[in-house]
Amino acid sequence: MGDVIATNITPDQQHGIGAYTEADFDNAVRHGVRKDGSYLYPVMPYVSYAGMTDQDVKALYAWFMHVVKPVAESPEETNLSFPASLRSAMMAWNFVASKETPETGDSNTYDKLRRGRYLANALEHCGTCHTPRNFMLSEKQDHYLAGGSLGTWYAPNITSSKTGGIADWSEDDLVAYLRTGACGWPRTGCRPHGRGRGTQHQPPDG
């Protein structure tokens, strides 16, 4: 299909998202629509981010606009073959894709199970890699987190399955793995985790 190139999301006015209002930012993050009205490709996991709370989206916007340093550079353009090159085709894909339902309130006050679901499905979008996809490349919800192929890499089963998943992992095992990328052997599905650099900064209580 070609290459999708990540765009500049620093607050540079010309090359980045510096001209985005908070509403523009929200529309891109949770709905997959850019400021100019064109559709984003779902490699940007807006179907997962759709579940974010208003409060967390506002916090992200503030951080991007006031903390991230502007960079006046534009990366190469995304280059996809037809018909994937038609961003308008994403309208049909969005119609069939399963999106997260937006959470409400302060996510820091959720009970452990609710917050865990929020972190996994919305913020960390675990299913983006670990859930297999159908011919339309949308996630197979009946195989949620059961393992997915990503080109030459395989994201393993991270369900509570005793045969193929992580049922034998303790809470400490999972915390250590997400923080350091290491776990005691043998461990089912214990492989290098691509998001380790981000999850290592999660506080102990989530």
User: Helix, strand, or coil here: 176?
Assistant: helix
What is the value of pTM for the model shown?
0.80
Q: What is the pLDDT along the chain (206 residues), one digit of tens a residue?
A: 667 778 999 999 999 999 999 999 999 999 999 999 989 988 889 999 999 999 999 999 999 999 999 999 988 877 666 666 566 767 776 666 777 888 999 999 999 999 999 999 999 999 889 988 877 677 888 898 998 887 788 889 999 999 889 999 999 888 888 888 776 544 444 555 554 444 544 555 55
Q: Does 74 map to a domain? A: yes
Specify the number of domains making up the chain.
2
User: Helix, strand, or coil here: 133?
Assistant: strand
How far is 125 from 115, CA to CA, in rounded Å? 13
Same domain? For 42 and 80 the reply is yes
How far is 48 from 115, CA to CA, in rounded Å? 15
Per-residue pLDDT, 133 = 82
* Containing structural domain, residue 62: 1-109
Q: Does 164 map to a domain? A: yes
At which residue do the structure tokens 């309130």 appear?
Answer: 105
| Residue where a domain terminates, one of 83, 109, 135 | 109
Same domain? For 81 and 157 the reply is no
User: Helix, strand, or coil here: 2?
Assistant: strand
Same domain? For 134 and 104 the reply is no
How far is 45 from 98, CA to CA, in rounded Å? 12
Same domain? For 15 and 78 the reply is yes
For 76, the token pair is 């190469």
